Amino acid sequence: MTGLRFPTPDLLTRLADRLGPRGFTTDPDLVDTWTTDWRDRVHGRAAALLSPANAEEVAFVLREASAAHVGIVPQGGNSSMVAGATPSADGSQLLLSLRRMNRIRRIAPQDNIAEAEAGVILADLHAAAEDAGRRFPLSLAAKGSATVGGLISTNAGGTQVLRFGTMRALVLGLEAVLPDGSIVEGLTALRKDNRGYDLRQLLIGAEGTLGVVTAASLKLVPAAAQRAVAWVGLEAPEQALAILRRLEQATGEAVESFELVPADALDLVLRHIPDMRAPLERRWPWNVLIEATALADAPPPDEALGLALATAIEDGLAGDATLAASETQAEALWALRENISEAERIDGMAAKHDVAVPVAAMPGFMGRARAAVEARFPGVRALAFGHLGDGNVHFNVRAPADADDRAWFKADGSAVTRFVHDFVAAEGGTLSAEHGIGQTKLADFIRLAEPTRLHAMRAIKQALDPAGIMNPGKLLPLAEADAAQ
């Protein structure tokens, strides 16, 4: 790599000419809304905001940027949890928004496929699939802003991974632009294609460091005509896991979400988010939100779920449980889970982590990690919530109750994060289960990653992006020579 540069006025003029007024702006009022990450931790600047209308325009941008050695930061809904779409602070990079490419090109119900452009918002994809009697089975709290391109580039997970997997399992084909401006015409309806290296899987989860995803063929599944949503109160995560295994026995593949919510997280939601109600009479130390679905002609899932939960209560595994009696109640239970991040954000700064260990090890891990972090940093409050069924929790650490959270975060935040990441690495887990590396996990990722993994990743990066223009400083560190001159 040869060092990145600031865009010259000449380059900006060429880009403005090609992209037109809807596709190019340097107006700070329009650019600056997109240069801070969702968590308000990383503040960047951009030389211009580019909003191409199609893959050919993206190709033009990348060709020009490669020739000029100018960094490109692709961005979808800007809901990254790791500042993966935030440009550097020196203002040398170009923000490449895919939001204008927001067409669902086609839905093919017989093939169970949706072909969507990168800027399609997840909630819109859900609605379009539903109109066709199908379902795109990946959902997450940011569904109103997260885009298809961002979900693919981060290999997003969410709350149905248990049954349907992450984006890697749901993308059949990609249209993408490589850094030299060549277009990968990989949209396909094929379920099988065994021709060597899988460029699609390389681009999924690459965090925009190898090219720009412009459209995708996505797997659909039959619409779930019936769903049962339950909220369960219990004493310990071990019991939650035992209930999950029983439910699998009792309902086959019906259970698609199994989300763990500690009392502290529920308290935050009830305190900070309007119109929320406690789902159970008693405050249980732990809660689980369960969703089971069934097709139209299958037996209703609430019968099997209700029966299994009643038995779990009888056997002392669960303390209490409620089954949503209507869609409104089901939505209300989901709102308690989906608002945890927002409530935590309102409450104050926290050191946030996204860790995974083998599923069966998770309850023990949570107990050990909590005891260790609270002993090492007296007064802090660990709060782990999320995707227990995937062995993935967001193990967040909040400031001591009497501390100024911003001052605490500035002083201790990175030491806490380092401690948690070391802890999870020592237990054989990962420091990023679903949020990616971006900027905020980069240092610890590099410090803890296996040398062979890093060597292979650097070789792939060098082969596809020799000028190092794609999302510089995310996922892989900037070499000193690559800081913009």
Cβ closest to ligand MLT, residue 88 vs residue 159: 159
* Site residues (CB under 5 A) for Zn ion, limited to 363-392: 386
* Site residues (CB under 6 A) for ligand MLT, limited to 428-467: none
Residue 95 binds ligand MLT (CB under 6 A) = no
CA separation for the pair 80, 78 (Å, rounded): 6
> What six digits make up the tokens of 482?
């690559």
Q: From the list Zn ion, ligand MLT, none, which binds 141 (C-beta under 5 to 8 Å, kind-based)?
A: ligand MLT
* Site residues (CB under 6 A) for ligand MLT, limited to 149-178: none
Size of the site for Zn ion (CB under 5 A): 1
Cβ closest to ligand MLT, residue 68 vs residue 265: 265
Q: Beta strand pairing status for 48-50 and 94-97? A: parallel
Size of the site for ligand MLT (CB under 6 A): 7
Cβ closest to Zn ion, residue 205 vs residue 386: 386
Least distance (Å) from Zn ion to the CB of residue 153? 17
Cβ closest to ligand MLT, residue 266 vs residue 470: 266
Residue type (1 letter), 346: I
Query: What is the length of the chain?
Result: 485
Q: From the list Zn ion, ligand MLT, none, which binds 468 (C-beta under 5 to 8 Å, kind-based)?
A: none
Which residues, 6 or more positions from 329, have their beta carbon under 8 angstroms from its beta carbon? Answer: 229
Least distance (Å) from Zn ion to the CB of residue 291? 15
Q: What one-character-per-residue DSSP string does 58-73 give?
A: HHHHHHHHHHHT--EE
What letter would DSSP give residue 26?
A: -
On whether the CB atoms of residues 138 and 168 are closer than 8 A, the answer is no
Cβ closest to ligand MLT, residue 81 vs residue 121: 81
What is the x/- site pattern for ligand MLT, positions 25-64, by CB under 6 A?
A: ----------------------------------------
- Of the candidates 289, 210, 196, 186, which has an alpha carbon nearest to the alpha carbon of residue 459? 210
- Of the candidates 317, 323, 325, 318, which has an alpha carbon nearest to the alpha carbon of residue 282? 318
Cβ closest to ligand MLT, residue 291 vs residue 482: 291
Least distance (Å) from ligand MLT to the CB of residue 405? 16
| Three-state secondary structure of 457-471 | HHHHHHHHCCCCCEC
What is the x/- site pattern for ligand MLT, positions 318-357, by CB under 6 A?
A: ----------------------xx------------x---
CA separation for the pair 209, 406 (Å, rounded): 31
Give Cα 458 to chain centroid, integer Å.
23
Q: From the list ligand MLT, Zn ion, none, which binds 79 (C-beta under 5 to 8 Å, kind-based)?
A: none
Q: Beta strand pairing status for 48-50 and 24-25? A: antiparallel
Helix (H, G, I), strand (E, B) or coil at 255: strand
Cβ closest to Zn ion, residue 50 vs residue 336: 336
Least distance (Å) from Zn ion to the CB of residue 433? 8
Q: From the list ligand MLT, Zn ion, none, which binds 420 (C-beta under 5 to 8 Å, kind-based)?
A: none
- Of the candidates 203, 218, 16, 23, which has an alpha carbon nearest to the alpha carbon of residue 120? 218
Least distance (Å) from ligand MLT to the CB of residue 62? 30
Least distance (Å) from ligand MLT to the CB of residue 393? 9
Cβ closest to Zn ion, residue 156 vs residue 206: 156
What order of strands is seen across the sheet that includes strand 24-25? Answer: 24-25, 48-50, 94-97, 72-75
Q: How far is residue 436 from each of residues 11, 391, 415, 479, measured CA to CA in Å?
A: 32, 16, 20, 20
What is the x/- site pattern for Zn ion, positions 415-444, by CB under 5 A?
A: ------------------------------
Give CA torsion, residues 431, 436, 440, 442, to 10 deg: 70
Q: State the Rg of the chain over Cα.
A: 23
**Matching residue, tokens 């021709």:** 195
- Of the candidates 13, 2, 3, 73, which has an alpha carbon nearest to the alpha carbon of residue 44? 73
Q: From the list ligand MLT, Zn ion, none, which binds 37 (C-beta under 5 to 8 Å, kind-based)?
A: none
On whether the CB atoms of residues 419 and 376 are closer than 8 A, the answer is yes
The residue with its CB nearest to ligand MLT is 341
Least distance (Å) from Zn ion to the CB of residue 390? 9
Least distance (Å) from ligand MLT to the CB of residue 81? 6
CA separation for the pair 46, 33 (Å, rounded): 11
Among 394, 421, 441, 474, binds ligand MLT (CB under 6 A): 394
Cβ closest to Zn ion, residue 7 vs residue 386: 386
Number of helical (H) and strand (E) elements in the chain, helices listed first: 17, 19
Residue 386 binds ligand MLT (CB under 6 A) = yes
Among 141, 218, 241, 383, binds ligand MLT (CB under 6 A): 141
Residues lying near Zn ion in the complex (CB under 5 A) are found at 386
**Residues of the shown chain interacting with ligand MLT in the complex, contacts defined by CB under 6 A:** 81, 141, 340-341, 354, 386, 394
